[in-house]
């Protein structure tokens, strides 16, 4: 018997195997990006592995300049073109003992927590280092020399103001960044508050990563859409009754009660919850002062979420729109089963597509479509069965 080929050595070979088997369509745009990812893999393999001679090895290593810099990759393009699939392949093959893959908002929430912890140590006299960024960057690098971000986007001013300093430190240590986004670098944080202070990060990014476009003509997410009755329109009494019926069905006779999730000295109020199911209104989640860390806590606590009465989002609802984008990103990234009643179909919820929100909402609409698909719903079922 002939031995099976090893497709783990190359993203290109893995992609060829999937197309040969009929699992994927031949897509030259995806193949071009796969070649770029393989260049990064090859460079990582050539890079001399760091050694850890003592418990303080990473601390001393962080003070030295890397032997050479491995250029990362920033992949941008329209939603549903296969960016995440290619990232999956690359990350599985990356020859790094220290690597981390995260949604960008989740990573930045971690960064802000580390900075707050360091400032508290400084205040208590436990460290003489007043600037938290260098030690936080060194600690992040000690845990991951390769950072892979899904859906790189910048919408929060706190993130925007720290990215340049943080990644100056990370890149100088030899950290390699590979990211996917549906926003090209020059449009990151577009129309954001004090954007001029963010622009040095774009220049920094271009010095350390190659920029490639995944411009496939096919939106594969829409191709595999098999709608399920989990996204209901329009907003009327009949839709409200349908949501109530679905909620009653998933309860299986159990009684839902209000719940509070502890969150750093405060709490996130959940109007109705039982086991790992919760029900909110759009106002509960997007008109309240909640952020990425709050939505992450909700996604970790529940695997089925109902959201009632999502309105059309006009310019007067810009803050609510930003929260909704981050919310859907987080629920999607954690395979949460979502039931929604809304005023319009996903692609029609945003009234005006302008600036960053316009770019970001294209992804939100695509994810809301995919979260109705049979494949996504099977994924959420698998998640629940494993818990």
On whether residue 218 sits in a domain, the answer given is no
46 and 76 inside one domain: yes
111 and 238 inside one domain: no
170 and 68 inside one domain: yes
241 and 297 inside one domain: yes
The secondary structure of 299-355 as a DSSP string is: HHH-SEEEEEEEPPB-GGGHHHHHHHHHHHHHHHHTT-EEEEEESS-GGGSBS---H
On whether residue 219 sits in a domain, the answer given is no
Which of 213, 237, 254 corresponds to the end of one domain? 213
On whether residue 272 sits in a domain, the answer given is yes
On whether residue 1 sits in a domain, the answer given is no
Residues of the chain with pLDDT > 90: what percent? 57
On whether residue 128 sits in a domain, the answer given is yes
On whether residue 112 sits in a domain, the answer given is yes
Who has greater pLDDT, 299 or 68?
299
159 and 52 inside one domain: yes
On whether residue 190 sits in a domain, the answer given is yes
CATH number at residue 17: 3.40.50.300
Which of 213, 243, 268 corresponds to the end of one domain? 213
179 and 241 inside one domain: no
152 and 252 inside one domain: no
On whether residue 360 sits in a domain, the answer given is yes
34 and 126 inside one domain: yes
**Nearest-angstrom CA–CA distance, 271 and 276:** 14
257 and 131 inside one domain: no
**Cβ contacts of 56 within 8 Å, gap of 6 or more:** none
- 140-197 pLDDT, tens digit each: 999 999 999 988 988 888 899 999 999 999 999 999 999 999 889 999 998 888 899 9
Does residue 376 have a pLDDT over 90? no
209 and 231 inside one domain: no
* pLDDT at residue 66, rounded to an integer: 55
The sheet with strand 257-263 has its strands ordered as 231-232, 337-342, 304-310, 277-281, 266-274, 257-263
Provide the 10 A C-beta neighbour count for residue 64. 10
Answer whether 0.85 is exceeded by the pTM.
no
Measured CA distances, 224 to 21, 218, 346 (Å): 18, 11, 16
Q: Which domain holds residue 199?
A: 7-213
Q: How many domains does the chain have?
A: 2
370 and 258 inside one domain: yes
CATH number at residue 264: 3.40.50
133 and 40 inside one domain: yes
Which of 179, 213, 247 corresponds to the end of one domain? 213
- 208-244 pLDDT, tens digit each: 999 999 987 776 655 554 444 689 999 998 888 888 8
């Amino acid at each position: 018997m002939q031995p099976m080929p090893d497709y783990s050595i190359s993203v290109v070979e893995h992609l060829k195997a999937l197309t040969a088997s009929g699992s994927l369509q031949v897509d030259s745009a995806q193949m071009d990006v796969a070649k770029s990812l393989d260049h990064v893999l090859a460079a990582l393999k050539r890079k001399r592995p760091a050694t850890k001679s003592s418990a303080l090895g990473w601390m001393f290593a962080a003070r030295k300049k890397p032997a050479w810099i491995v250029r990362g990759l920033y992949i941008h393009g329209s939603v549903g073109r296969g960016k995440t699939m290619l990232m999956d392949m690359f990350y599985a093959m990356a020859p790094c003992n220290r690597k981390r893959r995260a949604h960008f908002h989740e990573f930045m929430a971690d960064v802000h927590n580390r900075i707050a912890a360091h400032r508290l140590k400084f205040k208590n006299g436990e460290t003489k280092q007043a600037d938290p960024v260098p030690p936080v960057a060194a600690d992040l690098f000690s845990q991951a020399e390769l950072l892979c971000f899904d859906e790189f986007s910048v919408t929060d001013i706190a993130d925007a103001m720290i990215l340049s300093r943080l990644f100056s430190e990370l890149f100088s240590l030899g950290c390699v960044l590979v990211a996917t986004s549906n926003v090209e670098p020059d449009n990151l944080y577009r129309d954001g508050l004090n954007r001029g202070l963010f622009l040095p990060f774009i220049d920094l990014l271009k010095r350390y990563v190659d920029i490639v476009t995944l411009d496939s003509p096919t939106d594969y997410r829409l191709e595999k859409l098999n709608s399920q009755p989990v996204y209901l329109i329009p907003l009327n009494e009949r839709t409200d009754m349908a949501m109530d019926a679905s909620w009653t069905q998933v309860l299986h006779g159990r009684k839902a009660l209000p719940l509070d999730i502890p969150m750093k000295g405060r709490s996130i109020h959940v109007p109705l919850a039982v086991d790992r199911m919760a029900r909110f209104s759009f106002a509960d989640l997007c008109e309240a002062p909640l952020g990425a860390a709050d939505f992450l806590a909700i996604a970790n606590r529940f695997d089925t979420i109902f959201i009632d009465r999502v309105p059309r989002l006009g310019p007067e609802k810009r803050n609510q729109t930003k929260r909704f984008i981050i919310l859907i990103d987080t629920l999607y990234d954690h395979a949460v089963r979502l039931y929604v009643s809304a005023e319009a179909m996903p692609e029609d919820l945003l009234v005006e597509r302008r600036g960053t929100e316009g770019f970001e909402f294209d992804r939100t609409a695509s994810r809301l479509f995919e979260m109705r698909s049979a494949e996504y719903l099977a994924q959420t079922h698998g998640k629940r069965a494993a818990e």
